[in-house]
Amino acid sequence: MIGLTSLSAADWVAIWLTVKLSLVTTLILLILAMPLAWLLARWQHPAKYLVQAIIMLPLVLPPTVLGFYLLVVFAPDSVAGQLWQMLFGSTLAFTFSGLVFGSVIFSLPFAVQPLYTGFKALAPEYLETAKLLGMPPVTVVWKIILPLLKPFIIVAAGLCFAHTMGEFGVVLMLGGSIPGETQVLSIMLFNHVEGLRYTQAHWLAFIMLMVSLLLLSMLFWVGRFRRAI
């Protein structure tokens, strides 16, 4: 705890901003990935492989490349950028909303893949029985699908949170380093290293390392981690 006192108020703001970004991104990803994984699991078409490749592209694409193209597409003078500003009253680049947008795209594979695996493993007999019993779709989702997918949802949420927390390239390109707005933990760590403030850099790196280790340990502890990837 003594070492943590070397962290400044700006460091703690960056920590809170990172937690906030990870939570918001994870929530959005779970909402988006559930129906997307469901459709992919049941879609039988040659184009499916192309769609899966596009979704998984952030796994192999350098984060700076993705961040650069998002920055270009949503620049204030671009069509998409002007449309975003007209709808929401602000630019997407160099804002917290921009970080969320970029993080959702960059971490999408970590949400879709576990849920896709869960839907593929879902026995159709459960849904057929529910249909024969005349259960409403909402009841089927809450009483059958979600309980059966619980371990896969936990894995997706844990991976999304940990991956978002460690982002650097996308957030740097799309958000920059604005204190209290886009200066997340990874950016602050880079700034400390660049400024030769190794004590602060050590503690920020240690926090990120321990949180990631605890999250992964928890996923292994639930006993379904290998099945859900």
Which residue's entry shows tokens 């740097």?
172
Residues 6+ apart with CB under 8 A from 172: 64, 67, 186, 187, 190
Q: What is the reported pLDDT for 227?
A: 53
What is the structure's pLDDT at 3?
59
Residue 150: its pLDDT value, please? 87
pLDDT at 210: 92
Please, what's the largest Cα pairwise distance for the chain?
67
What is the pTM (predicted TM-score) of this model? 0.86
Please indicate, yes or no, if residue 214 is contained in any of the structural domains.
yes
> Is 62 contained in some domain?
yes
Where are the extended beta strands (E) located within the chain? none
Residue 153 placed within a domain: yes
Residue 157 lies in a domain: yes
Please say whether the beta carbons of 119 and 38 come within 8 A. yes
**Is residue 226, in this structure, part of any structural domain at all?**
no
185: in domain: yes
What is the CATH number for 98? 1.10.3720.10
Whether 227 is covered by a domain: the verdict is no
Supply the range of the domain harboring residue 177.
3-221
Residue 229 belongs to a domain: no
Return averaged pLDDT per consecutive 10 residues of the chain, 229 residues in all: 70 93 96 93 87 91 88 83 81 87 93 91 75 76 82 91 90 87 92 89 91 86 56
Note the pLDDT of residue 78: 83
Count structural domains, the chain: 1
What residues have CB less than 8 Å from 226, skipping those under 6 apart?
none
Which pLDDT does position 160 carry in this prediction? 94
pLDDT for the residue 1: 46
What is the number of alpha carbons within 13 Å of residue 112 lying toward its C-beta? 22
